[in-house]
Amino acid sequence: MDVASRTPFGSGTVDLQAAAVLVERMNIATTRGTTSRAMSLPNILTYGRIAAIPVVVGCIYAQSILDGPLWLRWVAVAIFIAAGVTDYLDGYYARIWNQQSAFGRMLDPIADKLLVASCLLMLAADGIIHGWSLWAAIVILCREILVSGLREYLAALRVSVPVTKLAKWKTTVQLVAIGFLLAGEAGDQVVPVVTQIGLLLLWASALLTMYTGYDYFRAGIHHLIKEDEG
């Protein structure tokens, strides 16, 4: 018997070489499975949403800060709309094709927050969001930070807080508001009230943001109290 490859184990023997091959094959299968999930269509759509961020911001920066042509705002709007559509499609395909994954659940809300936050900051620098409207943007950004912190805390407790229908409506109103504001001056040349509609929708999304953020905060406090009492 080859001592290097076989060792006593109870009444039989263990083939160490065969065991090593089995472990290696399991590792390869696991790696392939993880890579496959990471490169699924829903996740690719999410990657596309993240990739759209510098393009949208760059177009608004070039038009507003560098005094570029107004058609750049329409390019930004078109890419932003495409990115918003992927927010719906990635979840839809993940459900119907059963391609839901922990990686996708982690990355999807991050992509949304990056897109919204970067656009709001750029619109504030652009001057489209100004005066009292800045408070609406601040509320939205603060809520995103609050929810991210609560999600991280609740995840450590293995507690999942489902996204409500109202939260989905909040996201929809928020994206529509940002779309109007990205059009800005270019949109006002077509319909003079485009910017004003965007600002009104921004305030509406801020109010919905406060309400849905309170739901997350209440859930987090509830589990925090239970954790301290336990």
Residue 165 has a pLDDT of 80
Is the predicted pLDDT of residue 95 greater than 90, yes or no? no
Model pTM score: 0.77
Which residues neighbour 71 within 8 Å (Cβ) at sequence distance 6 or greater?
186
Q: Are 207 and 170 in contact (CB under 8 A)?
A: no
Query: Going by C-beta distance under 8 Å and a sequence separation of 6 or more, which residues neighbour residue 41?
Result: 90, 93, 97, 99
Asked if 99 and 165 touch (Cβ cutoff 8 Å), the reply is: no
User: Tokens in use for 175?
Assistant: 């994206």
169-182 per-position pLDDT tens digit = 888 899 999 999 99
pLDDT in tens, 168-223: 888 889 999 999 999 999 999 999 999 999 999 999 999 999 888 887 777 777 76
On the question of pLDDT at 85 being above 80, the answer is yes
